[in-house]
Amino acid sequence: MPLTREKKSKIVEELTEMFKKQKIAVFSDFRGVGVSKLTALRREMKKTGAEFRVAKKTFLRIALKVIGIDYDPKELEGEIGVILGYEDQIAPVKSAVKFGKENKTFKILKGILDGKFLEGKDVLALAKLPSREQLLAKLVWTLNSPIQGFHNVLNANLKNLVVVLNKINNLKK
């Protein structure tokens, strides 16, 4: 059933809104991946605050142009699916890379981060970065470390004083 002009414009409008909200977009070739596996990918993406959408390259080009990114996805080979991350920039990429390792025909082609295009290898490099939570935990640990050290130094002096007083008390008995 052919798409009417209204349906096409609605699809482009939806894609445009999605691209406006996204923090990261990853273009992938999903040729040869079964429907059940794509459904599993969609569920996994939902857990990370992202979604996987399949769209015609023409619709993607128009939606990207509307938000100010001049890129023609027609140069991408295969059936194009887009992962749009709305919350975290790294988690959807990690999930996509993991999915790609499990499904050899799934390939990450390009990405958009902060309005700039990334090559596939750059997107794969993002997957190697620690997650936002891990980075925040490291920051808290780094900020807490000097305070903890100072606390231990002060605590050691008190502990030593108690040990000395305890020995003096044992000598008097």
149: its two tokens: 């050290």
Q: Average per-residue pLDDT in the chain?
A: 88
Q: Which amino acid appears at position 44 of this protein?
A: E
E-strand ranges in 48-155 read: 50-54, 80-85, 107-113, 116-119
At residue 72, the pLDDT reads 75
Give domain limits for the chain: 5-129, 130-173
Residue 1 pLDDT more than 70?
Answer: no
6-47 per-position pLDDT tens digit? 998 999 999 999 999 999 999 999 998 999 999 999 999 999
Segment 140-166, tens digit of pLDDT = 999 988 888 888 888 888 888 888 888
pTM score, whole prediction: 0.73
Contact yes or no for 26/41 (Cβ under 8 A): no
Q: Domain 5-129 adopts which CATH fold?
A: Alpha-Beta Plaits (3.30.70)
Residue 123, φ and ψ in degrees, nearest 5: -65, -40
| pLDDT at residue 151, as a whole number | 85
